[in-house]
Amino acid sequence: MRAKTAVALVSIAGGLGCTVGAGYEGLHYSAWANPGALGHMVQLAGAALILFAVPAAMIVVWFCRQLAAQARSLGLTPGQAALAEFAVMELVHHEWAKRNREWSAQLTESVMGPERNRQ
């Protein structure tokens, strides 16, 4: 097993363990019998979030490297690749906004009824 895979699996296992521990501490919280359990629960939940973020960050880094490798294989400079990505994102944004306007109009008509002509 590669070191990166082992780190990701250990981080996930640790995150799951912290999540279970946070749940246990949360269930045993009592204002009069065990007031410190709430603090432990918050600490364990925070540790779980950090541990779950490790494999997520590894995936993001891997994805960015794949995009860079693909851009290099096309013979694009980093500036050209960024410009192409910007153009594609703007196109998607334009089309998504158009779709949202159409969907909003359709929902408005289904709730309010057809538009009336006022004179």
Task: Identify the residue with better confidence: 116 or 51.
Answer: 51
Residue 119 has pLDDT above 70, yes or no: no
To which residue do tokens 């995009």 refer? Answer: 67
Give the three-class secondary structure for 107. helix
Full-model pTM: 0.60
pLDDT per residue over 3-21, tens digit each? 989 999 999 999 999 999 9
Q: What is the pLDDT of residue 102?
A: 94
- Convert the pLDDT of each residue in 52-105 to its tens digit: 999 999 999 998 898 888 888 888 888 888 898 899 999 999 999 999 999 999
The rounded distance, in Å, linking the Cα atoms of 9 and 3 is: 10
As a whole number of angstroms, the distance between CA 38 and CA 30 comes to 8
